[in-house]
Amino acid sequence: MLYVIGLGLGNEKDITIRGLEAVKRCEKVYMEAYTSLLSFGLSGLSTLEAMYGKAITVADREMVEEKADEMLAEASSCDVAFLVVGDPFGATTHTDLVVRAKKMGIEVKVVHNASVMNAVGVCGLQLYRFGETVSIPFFTETWRPDSFYEKIQRNRNMGLHTLCLLDIRVKEPTLESLCRGKKQYEPPRYMSINTAIDQLVEIEERKESSAYNKDTICVGLARLGSEDQKVVAGPMGQLRNVDFGEPLHCLVITGETHPIEEEMLDFYKLQSQGPFEDGRNAS
């Protein structure tokens, strides 16, 4: 059996009871470590191991994408848990893993949990008013992609909000090492809301059309699900100057807003004195 288990967004305690029971039944436990991370990062792996009572093998991108057959071979003869921060299907890589397992005749059970795709609703924007989600990659000196711009524009034209997931680069080989044939890796990088806005503004400035501008109301969200989550709403041009702190970050570009949505956003406005000023869920 292969168990694909969502861990939620905060810390080791966010796993569901069903998920915890499954982990404790498994002989091997892997944790995916490149599409997201818990609030304490990989340094807190021992905390997870202590709570779950199992040794955990960190599964990096190379292992999941290139050596998954080894893990699946184990699942053909014993129970294996594959832990995913957030919900198991928050990344296409995990869907691919399930497809490969099923093709090998391995039974798969999925245990769901909270993810950024629904936790973003804490800001008050209604989930059914979101359009297509986009991912914003880091610019480089020679690569400044903007294919997601048209998706944002379509969402805005339909009055829909856009969730922007920001780039995570963990264990990425350097170009120089690839040329030499011996991989060396870049330090981990997590895109900030500030960097995302800088890139969005650059793209907007070189486009003839207009999907957004510096006055477009956006919502910056950092460390969703953790005790110190931060949520700030305001014009794009002002949010780029806000210190959102440690990763992970995401950004919402608003579309048309309902009066109830606007009331909730007021709690998160820059210089707000409301009960949501520090970005924590009042509950």
Q: Which residues are annotated as a binding site for S-adenosyl-L-methionine?
A: 9, 87, 90, 115-116, 166, 224, 249
Look up residue 269 and give its two tokens: 């406005």
Q: Which residues are annotated as a binding site?
A: 9, 87, 90, 115-116, 166, 224, 249
**E-assigned strand segments in the chain:** 2-6, 28-32, 57-59, 80-84, 108-111, 134-136, 162-166, 168-169, 189-190, 217-222, 230-235, 249-253
> Distance between CA 232 and CA 272 in Å, rounded?
9
Residue tagged 């890139």 (tokens): 199
Residue of 101, 79, 88 whose CA lies nearest to 29: 79
CA–CA gap between residue 101 and residue 75 (Å, rounded):
9
- What is the C-alpha to C-alpha distance for residues 167 and 190, in angstroms, rounded to an integer? 6
